[in-house]
Amino acid sequence: MQKLFKIFVLLACLGLALNGKAQQATNYSEEFGADYSQAKDFLSKNSWIADSLGSYNVPAAFAEAIIFPELVRFSVLRDQMETGGLKILYVSFGKDYADFSIGRFQMKPSFAEQLLTDIEMYKLNKTFRSLLINKTFDEETQRRAVIKSLESPQKQVMYLAAFYQVCEQKFKSKKWTSTEEKLRFYATAYNCGYRQTEKYILQKARQSFFSTSIMGFGKTYNYANISLFYYEQSIEKLTRQ
């Protein structure tokens, strides 16, 4: 019985290893086709994004890879999005009643609210002053300001830079074996919630739960793998230049 158990464990581990390799071997450029190309072209045509990230001491290729799967998703769903009613619900009642993705980077109001709190906690107020909201305003006015900032491409880039800098503080004790490992972690944290525990984020980094469907149906993908695939392509392109 013990021998059979060992064989079972060995086969299970082998299956996980093969599955991981299969995920990494996926050519996401071919998988997503025109939507991948449109996401890639968006970053190429908007070079100001990389410049802006650099001004906040954020590695542009790394940060753009974090949000790249969301750009692909935005390309797929942009004709299906209708958020007007959700905005009214959020402004009136808060994130518990409506928490929805906004803009190219698919950022949610709850994500922005968390970052605004953590910017102050990690003493990044000076760097990201233009994101901060006057707390003397009533709650509806503050929430309206959050929506307005998320609708601005420039502010979304600032939120992305803030996310990176907050993660640098939050996970500063973690030792990374490679840039790729760090990217997988940060990308997953962006998608599943950077305030989650390290154990939870690492667990989600091994799972395929990212969907390009507006209802979450259909095929699901490993978010971090898409980020890593784009990042490796970007770095390869830079080294050829």
Global pTM reads 0.86
Report whether pLDDT(142) > 70: yes
Query: Tell me: the pLDDT tens digits for 98-118?
Result: 999 999 999 999 999 999 999
Which are the contacts of 106, defined by CB distance < 8 A and separation ≥ 6? Answer: 67, 70, 73, 74
- Would strands 210-211 and 220-221 be described as parallel, antiparallel, or unpaired? antiparallel
Q: Tell me how many domains the chain contains.
A: 1
- Of the chain, the percentage scoring pLDDT greater than 90 comes to 78
The arithmetic mean of pLDDT across residues 6-22, rounded, is 39
Instruction: Tell me whether residue 77 is in a domain.
Output: yes
Distances, alpha carbon 184 to alpha carbons 77, 131, 133, 226, in Å: 24, 27, 31, 9
The residue range of the domain holding 202 is 35-240
Q: Is residue 147 part of a domain?
A: yes
Whether residue 194 contacts residue 204, with contact meaning beta carbons closer than 8 Å, is answered with: no
Residue 22 lies in a domain: no
- Whether residue 186 is contained in a domain is answered as yes
Confidence of residue 79 (pLDDT cuts 50, 70, 90): low
Does residue 234 sit within a domain? yes
Q: What is the mean pLDDT of residues 151-167?
A: 98
Identify whether 19 is part of a domain.
Answer: no
Residue 44, Cβ density class (10 Å: 0-12 exposed, 13-18 middle, ≥19 buried): exposed
Residue 73 is assigned to a structural domain of this protein: yes
pLDDT beyond 50 at 137: yes
Look at residue 130 and tell me if it is in a domain. Answer: yes
Asked if residue 67 has pLDDT above 70, the reply is: yes
